Amino acid sequence: MKKVLGIDTGGTYTDAVIYDYQTEQLIDKNKAITTHYDLLEGITEVITSLKQELLSEIELVALSTTLATNALVEGQGARVGLLLLGYEQEYLEKFKFDQQIPTKEIRVIEGKFDIKGIETEPLAEEKIKQAGIDWQDKVDAIAIAGYMSVRNPAHELRAEEILSGLVDLPLVCGHRLSSKLNLIKRATTVVLNASLIPLIKELCQKVKQVLTAKGIDAPLMIVKGDGSVVKDEVILTKPIETILSGPAASIIGAKHLSRIDDLVVVDMGGTTTDIALIDDGSPQLATDGAEVEDWQTCVESIKFRTIGLGGDSEISLNRECEIKLGPQRLIPYAVAATNYGCIITELEDIVEKKLEFKQGQFLILNRDAEYLDLNQREREVIELLESGPKSLAQLKKELELINLQFLGVERLERLEVIKRIGLTPTDILHVLGEYTHWSQEAAQLGYELLFLELKNKLRYRLAVGEANLEAERFAIELKNKVVKKVAREVGLQLVRQNSKVSQYDNLGEVIEHSFDKFERFNWDFQLEIPIVTIGAPAQAYLQHLSQYLTAEIIVPQDYEVANAVGAAVAKVIVNEELLIKKVEGSYILYYSQGREKFSGLNEALTAAQELGKKKVLEQAEISGAKRMEFSCQVQREGLGSLVAAKVICKVVGDVI
């Protein structure tokens, strides 16, 4: 048996796979459109279309979700109060740190340690009590971040103890989330983490309800940003660790599907393309910590590069008659016309009347807007759309607009009340006959609209001879443009990993030049490792990367659901880093729960290994690991003059 249901949600599509651990085979797979305003709808839909007889056999559900990232980007987190221990209000303001921390409710409390973890200022316990009392009904969670708490967490722990007896709110301490020095980043992380707790709790509960309703009786695990999984109840205390878990799942999926350990992963979705490098089986982690929106956190995440280009990216034309790709996402003509025949009729009319390409885009109602406080224009637009999608040309006419700039539907689009339909790379594939799944007719009409406008404009600007475009060749050019842009970004990402070269300006241009052919020499961008391409448009677009890059391009089987595969096959990974420092003749061991003093280095090392092993095994157990593999590494060199040794303990465990 040993069947796992892997789900990936948050991107353009929600993917699900059923994976059999015993035979190492994918038994079933499915895709549905993600419903960003309520992820549950997409999840329910994707499960409903799986083979229902398999559902009762599922023993574990692994979910990768970008709920946390989305919530932070949209500022939907809960209200958080921050206790900042051992900092001065004056300097907080002077260096504008208060603006870097994502809450206004900040209390600065006395109490600090020095770099060695020795108390230099006692904790002002009364003020903590006062804060607790004041915040009782004002915030949804309390974050505690202490100066040097990674060297000595005693103050954070004491503050937590005081508050836990006083208020009934989730409490989060800095030292549990990061072992890196930087109070401000740590405070940011703790605040964001606290703000996500109520959201992730709700999601987990609801997902479980959906699973139960579908007859799935299995524990739930969640994918983290470093590519490992943990039980849902563990992530409830550290929801921040799920940020950027989408790319993490795709990397694990790509690795698993291709069975290759050194590779470049290119994951093309509907909206974005992610590029990451994997050496020796493990992706590189970002040393600075993940950045979300404008908040700099200290959460470990996989290093990757995102570009705003996917299968459903908008193809637009600027004033200089240049084609632009992305970053806006549209519903492709081909897809929309399958459900709404009126789109084809209207497009034919627009082509006939030779209207602007831009006016050929459509708006469509996506969901209820009852709860919104709508203005006059928004109400009018929604009313018009209630009978089905309308082209911008129609809307312009019916609303008597002088110019489409005055349409004023930005908010409705942002909230996904309405969506836009237009020409995308997916349509181009239909034009070329490479895809036939949806309406080729609509794609062809939309493409014609672009082509005619471009041809007209070019004729106006250039001599007639130069404007002699061929429809067929232009479509191929458009397709190559997408591939070329991805190739350029792959090149950039590879070069940037080599920090010395990355200082040059115009690196992108240089890389693009290497794609060109020269008469007397070859200047190729050559990769020594294969590129594994995944995501729905991989087959059509990414396998052509070899036109520009000299590399082996692999499109593995099941490439379109690689993210869900990644969630299904991810493992439990627990790391603990212990530092031993020499301080005034004795050795001090620092670990995530405190510090201990030893007279000799050997004693300290033995203690570190024992302590580390115990901690990671415990944590792995809690996280839901079965069949654990333990490893321990002792580093003695290259640690700077302060650190005598570093002990890294690691457990990798299967989930089933």
Partner 1 sequence: MSNELFEKAADAICDADVERAEELAQIALDEGIAPLEMIEKGYTAGINEVGRLFDRGELFLPQLMGCAEAMKSATAILKEAAAEQGSESEESIKVVLGTVQGDVHDIGKGIVASILEANGIEVHDLGTDVAVEDFIETAKEVDADIIGTSALLTTTMGVSEELLKTLDEEDLRGEFKVMVGGGPVTKRWADKIGADGYAENANEAVSKIKELVD
Residues that bind partner 1 (CB under 8 A): 91, 94-95, 97, 114-116, 120, 147-148, 150, 181-185, 640-642
Contact in structure between 282 and 225 (CB atoms under 8 Å): no
DSSP structure string for 468-508: ---HHHHHHHHHHHHHHHHHHHHHHHHHHTSTTGGGSTTHH
- Cβ proximity to partner 1, 182 vs 480, nearer residue: 182
* d(C-alpha 22, C-alpha 29), whole Å: 17
Closest contact distance (angstroms) between CB of 95 and partner 1 is 6
**Phi-psi group of 567: left, alpha or beta (phi > 0 → left; psi -120 to 50 → alpha; rest → beta):** alpha
Q: For residues 483, 422, 539 and 433, what is the CA-based torsion angle, rounded to 10 degrees?
A: -100
In the bound state with partner 1, the residue whose beta carbon lies nearer, of 117 and 556, is 117
* Residue 182 or 282 having the CB closest to partner 1: 182
| Smallest separation (angstroms) from partner 1 to the CB of 90 | 9
When the beta carbons of 484 and 581 are compared against partner 1, the nearer one is: 581
Nearer CB in complex with partner 1: 116/208: 116
3-state SS of 295-319 is: EECCCCCECCEEECCCCCEEEEECC
Beta carbon nearer to partner 1, 55 or 84:
84
CB atoms within 10 A of CB 244: 25
Q: Supply the minimum distance, in Å, between the C-beta of residue 2 and partner 1.
A: 46
Q: Which is nearer to partner 1, 86 or 283 (CB)?
A: 86
Report how far residue 227's alpha carbon sits from residue 135's, in angstroms, rounded to the nearest whole number: 36
Cα 331 from chain centroid (whole Å) = 21
Other beta carbons less than 10 A from residue 548's beta carbon: 23
- Round to whole Å and give the CA distance between 298 and 291: 8
- Name the minimum Å distance from CB 100 to partner 1: 8
Identity of the residue, 47 or 298, whose beta carbon is nearer to partner 1 in the bound complex: 298
Q: Which residues contact residue 211 at a Cβ distance below 8 angstroms, ignoring those fewer than 6 apart?
A: 47, 61, 217, 218, 220
Kindly tell me which of 186 and 571 has the beta carbon lying closer to partner 1.
Answer: 186
Instruction: Give the position of tokens 């989730």.
Output: 170
Residue 110 CB, shortest distance to partner 1, in Å, is: 14
CB of 149 to partner 1, least distance (A): 9
Residue 605 C-beta: closest distance to partner 1, Å: 20
- CA 50 vs CA 5, 21, 42, 570: distances in Å: 10, 18, 13, 21
Q: How far apart are CA 499 and CA 522, in angstroms?
A: 25
**Residue 122 burial class via C-beta count within 10 angstroms: exposed 0-12, middle 13-18, buried 19 and up:** exposed
Contacts of 489 (CB under 8 A, 6+ apart): 273, 275, 305, 307
CB of 598 to partner 1, least distance (A): 19
Closer of 159 and 625 to partner 1 (Cβ): 159
Give the residue with the Cβ less far from partner 1, 181 or 471: 181
114 versus 603: smaller Cβ distance to partner 1: 114
Tokens of 423: 């020409």
Q: Which pair of structure tokens corresponds to residue 164?
A: 């836990």
Helix (H) or strand (E) run with residue 635 in it: strand 626-635
Q: How far is the CB of 641 from partner 1 (least distance, A)?
A: 5
What whole-number distance in Å separates Cα of residue 109 and Cα of residue 87? 7
Min dist CB 186 to partner 1, Å, is: 9
Residue 259 is classified by DSSP as T
Q: Give the C-alpha separation, 357 to 423, whole Å.
A: 9
Nearest to partner 1 of 182, 394 (CB atom): 182
Residue 304 beta carbon to partner 1: minimum distance, rounded to whole angstroms: 25
Give the nearer residue to partner 1 in terms of CB position, either 85 or 266. Answer: 85
* CB atoms near residue 93 (< 10 Å): 11
Residue closer to partner 1 by CB (options 70, 592) is 592
Residue 150 beta carbon to partner 1: minimum distance, rounded to whole angstroms:
8
- Take residue 246 and report the two structure tokens written for it: 């989408």
Contacts of 153 (CB under 8 A, 6+ apart): 146, 173, 175, 592, 593, 594
Q: What whole-number distance in Å separates Cα of residue 110 and Cα of residue 118?
A: 15
Residue 196 CB, nearest approach to partner 1 (Å): 22
| Least separation in angstroms between CB 123 and partner 1 | 17
Cβ-contact 592, 173 below 8 angstroms: no
